[in-house]
Structure 1
Amino acid sequence: MGTVTDRRMNDNNRSAPNLADYESVRQGFVWPTPEEAFSRRADAPGCFNIGYEATDRHVAAGRGRRVALRSIAANGLATTLTYARLAEDSARFANVLADLGIVAGDRVFTLLGRVPALYIAALGTWKRGAVFSPLFSAFGPEPIKARMQIAEAKALVTTARFFERKVKPVLADLPSLKTIILVCGGDGGVDFDAALAGRPTTCHIAPTRADDLAVIHFTSGTTGRPKGAMHVHGAAVAHKLTAAYALDLKPDDIFWCTADPGWVTGTSYGIIAPLLIGCTLVSDEEEFDAERWYGNLERDRVTVWYTAPTAVRMLMKAGDDLPRRYDLSRLRLIASVGEPLNPQAVIWGRDVLKRPIHDNWWQTETGGIMISNFLSMPIRPGSMGRPVPGIEAAVVRREASGAMTFVETPNEQGELALKAGWPSMFTGYLHEEKRYRQCFVDGWYLTGDLVRRDADGYYWFVGRADDVIKSAGHLIGPFEVESALLEHPAVAEAGVIGIPDPVAMEVVKAFVALRPGHTTDESLRKDLLAHARKRLGPAVAPRYIEFCKSLPKTRSGKVMRRLLKARELGLPEGDTSMLEVEK
């Protein structure tokens, strides 16, 4: 599809991109220490704490009156917190934790939506020296229990409604959970607002070091129990710099990250990165609604918007006329993460939103953005982009012996590997050292994602190693097939798997959800098959198509191909705790 260049700058921010010359910055880049990236604290030499750096550092620099958070409630009313207020409220929460007996290293969980209490609790937890672990608000009792048992949760911040429906049924199985704090009150725990009201606005900020544990994010494996990926306070160095480089985030930006707080993006870039940079963060308690989202962009004058491919496709489905009713001229950059962004979505952004959408790639384990389509370089629609400065990426092939070899030929498929050592790299899976060690070979982190790298250094996602379909000697990436199907005007969503075949070993089967106004009949099935064969060729196109109302997805919007495959073949479904509630 060629390239797309994003050159327009916001009228109120005509400065050059933070990463204006990719090649020169990358060649000379060395990750700074926390003291170099932020500041040396005279009150605590050698200490580094995310809670302090995200709030009190700005207050000390005279920026306390700047708006830190603009939180939109479900009813549309907004709450505004300045950096000074956020520093005070998070200090109050740290004092609450101290009074409740929470000490450094204790695990504090949240089961909340995007409400002000979430941000206050996260920052206050870090100031106390405790470890923050967010849960999806859509989780049911069992996945909540599993994660809190693994981490030996000491405290939980939630609502009375969530507590009654999701926590109380498994409370007897959580012996380590001693403290429950309820936002907006209720029976069964400490009242969040009442507790904060009586506490001092300053606190003793724990003398944490850069290598002290700060966050545990849980991620589901193909099988087995959830994995608790551990990240340290020093990860903030990567959060800040990747947000500056990949999202071009500046202190005077108004930034909206739509990610759920239970997903790593909702913490790394929905809380930490924008507050470290000192910009204004917008959040919305409500889930997707096209008109509401466009209204947020216009009313709050958003300049940088970070969302997900699923949301982009839903906006596309809502039509091209709707965004024309809103003033989106303040938008300087739109970025997407969570799953590969289909090429047609990039073009749609350029043509309809007047901004091409910049895809980027990373994982829960990487802690921050690793590969991106940067503002200062042409976008290649469908590509993940190029590595962030400081990240050494490679395409490798695992050998039967356990060793790996590097793939040097352009466009040859292999597994994406990252040279270990960036600041936000996970430091382990909680209580699973062997599982952690298996992720590394010869000092390289093996991501489990299959990619190809073109002659110019752009990386292209092929699929998960366990998703790739091998048919008659061909390696077929589900994403490529899904992208072709999504180009058909009748298709809203597509998920592709391989199913057994006695001759070809596997053949491609596609599950398709249609746009409104289209009927699931044999004529359309044949049309889709013909469309795919034309676009992909007979060796890659799906052999079978099954229509469905919707596809199983994670809360972050990823189609769960392995769940489609398990259901198709009658296999165990494995961990489905990340599954979005199916309509």
Structure 2
Amino acid sequence: MPPPPVDAGSLFRRRTTMPACGWRWRKPRMTMIALADWTGDALAAIGLRRGAAGLEIAVPADASIYAMTVGRQIAAGRGSAPAMVFERADGTLEHWSFGQIDAAATALAARLRALGFGRGDFIGVHTGMRPETGIAHMAVCKLGGVAVTLSQLYGPDALAHALNHCRARCLLTTEAGWSDLRGEAARLFPALEQVLVAESAGPEQDLREVLAAPVPAGFRPDYTAADDVALLMYTSGSTGMPKGIRHGHRVLASYVPSISLFFDLSLHDADAVFWSPSDWAWVGGLLDMLFPAWLAGRPVATSEARFRADWAYGFMARHRVTHSFLAPTAIKRLAQSPNPREDHDLSLRVVCTGGEALAADTLAWAEQRLGVVCNEFYGMTEVNHLIGNCAALYPRKPGSMGVAYPGHTVCLVDADGNEVPDGEPGEIVTPATAPTRYLGYLDAPGKDADLRLGRWLRTHDLAVRDADGYFWYKGRSDDLIKSSGFRIGPAEIEDCLLAHPAVAEAAVIGKPDPERGQIVKAFVRTAASAEPGAALAEALKAHVRARLAAYKAPREIAFVDGFEMTSSGKINRRALRAADAGA
């Protein structure tokens, strides 16, 4: 079992300011104690211990996602504490305590066992950002099964690929997510035997009724261990169809140190309320927000509403949200409001962000205008939380990814797996024994081999490390632009373009060119006050030329009304390359 939560007050002296204009949260001023000087108990409280080679991440052999989250709160006598508030489309609210979540999860686990499912079985979780999703994960833990995380953004073919690839026999979904699939289910999902639908309007058993049913007296949970599979998450790679990534229960225990740091050592604040617009089918919404909140015994606010900046501000104000995971794209959308604290009564104070590079200007807006601590972190679904920031512990460098998190070894290597010196670009790698590592792809041994480079797990992401140990993102290896012998990362050009007041969003690709091999092409969505055209294109080229280098300036700029996004909320550069090639 993981250690008890850290008492941040014993580590730092905090104080807030009271400006004349009224109360507003300000970044706490702290007297910092170096991590290496923490006591053993304080380190244990954020999942670390001292080892022969330095700080190590502690992963108990009996770690269980249920035991670390809802189970921890029940064992501590906190069953009546709030766990979730769900805001429906009509504005009505559902409040769930940890005890209610636990009882509903036990009822669901008992029903699934009665239907013939048990240890090791794949249970599709397709219930969106609703209470049923959190309950389902706890129920699958009690069953000893494997939760297959499925986004309601999936179209029929994507959903069919995932369910048929893992041969899942059971699906938990909602009427909204199932109604358009019901008529084709037999053809699309031939392996499915049971479908439970929340608020069902069809013949399927209503999942809500199952959650409210009494638990049979003889039911006993079948909890599995740290290295048993808990999650199957489908994610796209650079080639082929999405791959099923298997994670053990160990994943949450291995995330505890980095979660504690990127939430700025404030996970356990007494008034903390968590929210994220990121889909709970993905790491960002599930493992970086929902489970951490429950690990800390704090409530999550949620809604099925689509993300819009004005709606998000209102939602955060209504529910007094203090902590959030926001993808950089979401922060950019929020940044269209220049002075949000003047327009909204916000309690937000800590934002963690990841999934793509965060522009330095966007970070500056978040901290100066939104008034939050914003800690960026880096990793990927297969091996996560490798690099990041923690403003409470060490200074951040705007535009940097941060430093290697404690308990992680992170190196930059060349194509042969040899480490490169500071100041030179290389691929980010970590040992194959990394604590946050996945358990392997499902039924794809060749894909596992593709992720190995000797003793390393590779990321296909490029970065430079400076003399202080800070990493600076340079783009994907397969997005790298090679022009006239220069190696150019698109991320830094995008960052530069975003610093121009006429640019709202930008994406950069390499376009084939017979003379130079590739040229830099930028796609730009302008700010509302800007006029797209030849004059602005020349101004943006000059801006990059002046800010970075002449050879990095786009030779072509196309103005667009918007961007196609991936299911994880990133601009789809692959679609841009395909569209450009077909133009």
TM-score (normalizing by structure 1): 0.88
> Would you say 1:291 and 2:304 are equivalent positions?
no
CA offsets per residue over residues 296-335 of structure 1, 9 Å max, x none? Answer: 3333332222111111111112x2134312233x433222
Contact 2:359 2:495 in 1 (8 A): yes
Match of residue 280, structure 1, among 299, 306, 325? 299
SS in 1 for 2:363: helix
Contact 2:127 2:174 in 1 (8 A): yes
Q: How does 1:14-413 map to 2 (within 5 A)?
A: 20-24=33-37, 28-34=54-60, 47-166=62-181, 168-200=183-215, 203-247=219-263, 248-251=265-268, 252=270, 253-317=272-336, 319-328=337-346, 330-366=347-383, 368-375=384-391, 376-399=393-416, 404-408=417-421, 410-413=422-425
Q: For 1:66 and 1:502, locate their aligned partners in 2 and report how far apart those are by CA, in whole Å.
A: 65
Q: For 2:173 and 2:91, locate their aligned partners in 1 and report how far apart those are by CA, in whole Å.
A: 21
Letter in 2 for 1:344: D
Q: CA shift at 1:363, angstroms? A: 0.9
Q: For 1:123 and 1:331, locate their aligned partners in 2 and report how far apart those are by CA, in whole Å.
A: 28
Q: CA shift at 1:178, angstroms? A: 0.7
Contact 1:88 1:201 in 2 (8 A): no
Match of residue 481, structure 1, among 468, 493, 502? 493
Q: CA shift at 1:53, angstroms? A: 2.9
Contact 1:95 1:199 in 2 (8 A): no
Q: CA shift at 1:463, angstroms? A: 0.5
Residue range with higher mean Cα deviation, 128-137 or 246-255: 246-255
Q: CA shift at 1:13, angstroms? A: 12
Q: Percent identity?
A: 32
Contact 2:427 2:477 in 1 (8 A): yes
CA offsets per residue over residues 163-216 of structure 1, 9 Å max, x none? Answer: 131464353242221110101122142111122222318842213111110001
Residue range with higher mean Cα deviation, 164-173 or 486-495: 164-173
Q: For 2:535 and 2:29, locate their aligned partners in 1 and report how far apart those are by CA, in whole Å.
A: 52
Q: For 2:147 and 2:29, locate their aligned partners in 1 and report how far apart those are by CA, in whole Å.
A: 36
Q: For 2:26 and 2:124, locate their aligned partners in 1 and report how far apart those are by CA, in whole Å.
A: 38
SS in 1 for 2:313: helix
Q: For 1:51 and 1:356, locate their aligned partners in 2 and report how far apart those are by CA, in whole Å.
A: 29
SS in 1 for 2:142: helix
> Would you say 1:437 and 2:449 are equivalent positions?
yes
SS in 1 for 2:525: strand
Q: CA shift at 1:246, angstroms? A: 2.2
Letter in 2 for 1:271: L
Contact 1:141 1:167 in 2 (8 A): no
CA offsets per residue over residues 120-150 of structure 1, 9 Å max, x none? Answer: 1111111111111121212110001011111
> Would you say 1:515 and 2:527 are equivalent positions?
yes
CA offsets per residue over residues 489-522 of structure 1, 9 Å max, x none? Answer: 1211111011122222111001111122433222
- CA 1:70 to 1:442, structure 2 compared with 1: closer, same or farther past 3 Å? same
> Would you say 1:428 and 2:440 are equivalent positions?
yes
Letter in 2 for 1:33: V
TM-score (normalizing by structure 2): 0.88
Which structure 2 residue ranges, 5 or more long, are not aligned?
1-11, 18-24, 39-49
Letter in 2 for 1:446: R
Q: CA shift at 1:258, angstroms? A: 2.5
Which structure 1 residue ranges, 5 or more long, are not aligned?
1-5, 36-46, 572-583
CA offsets per residue over residues 389-424 of structure 1, 9 Å max, x none? Answer: 11100000122xxxx10012x221000001232343
Question: Which protein has greater RCO, CA pairs closer than 8 Å, 6+ apart?
Answer: 1
Q: For 1:283 and 1:190, locate their aligned partners in 2 and report how far apart those are by CA, in whole Å.
A: 25
SS in 2 for 1:417: strand
Question: Partner of 2:513 in structure 1?
Answer: 501
Q: For 2:432 and 2:426, locate their aligned partners in 1 and report how far apart those are by CA, in whole Å.
A: 18
Give the CA RMSD over aligned residues.
2.5
Question: Partner of 2:560 in structure 1?
Answer: 548
Contact 2:63 2:253 in 1 (8 A): no
Q: For 1:171 and 1:516, locate their aligned partners in 2 and report how far apart those are by CA, in whole Å.
A: 47
Question: Partner of 1:579 in structure 2?
Answer: none
